[in-house]
Every structure is written in C-alpha cells, then in structure tokens.
Amino acid sequence: MEIKILGTGCPKCKTLEQVTGEIVSELGIEAEIVKEEDIMKIMEYGIMHTPALVINENVVLSGRVPSRGDLEDLLIQNQ
C-alpha cells in the first residue's frame, strides 16, 4: 500500500502524517508513507484544501484531519 500525505507543512498536515504512521504500525499494515510538500505535485491531485490523504493514488480525504477511528476505517477499507 502506498500512502501519501499531501500538505505544505502546516500543523494539521504534520498531525495527519504522525497519526497515520501510528495507526499503520498498530494495525500491522504494510505501507510506504510519503509526505508530499511540493505544491505543484499537490495540485496534480485536484484538491483545494490540505491536508489530504492519498491511498494507492486515490484521494480519500482532503481539507481536514479525521478522527482516529475514521482514519483507521479509511486505511482498512483501502488496503
């Protein structure tokens, strides 16, 4: 599984990256987590607000940091 956190480095982006890493580790999901901060690359995904979560090249969330439970559900559903 490839997970990308899209964001320019704001606190919400950092929180999403940290919590995603924790959940992936806790659930034992094999995943590569990449933090994308290049605004030009972020714009290629067509999102208007960061942070955004991309799983296997599909944008599954943008513009907010989900609750821990919601994030777990997203990761499990998109394995």
User: Coil, helix or strand for 60?
Assistant: strand
For 4-57, the DSSP string reads EEE-SS-HHHHHHHHHHHHHHHHHT---EEEEE--HHHHHTTT-SSS-EEEETT
In tens, the pLDDT along 34-55 reads 999 999 999 999 998 999 999 9
Structural contact between residues 12 and 24, judged by C-beta atoms closer than 8 angstroms = no
Q: Where residue 25 sits, what CATH number does that domain have?
A: 3.40.30.10
* Mean pLDDT value of segment 58-64: 96
* Mean pLDDT value of segment 4-20: 95
Q: In which domain, by residue range, is 28 found?
A: 2-77
Q: Please count the structural domains in the chain.
A: 1
In tens, the pLDDT along 14-23 reads 999 999 999 9
Task: Give residue 22's pLDDT.
Answer: 97
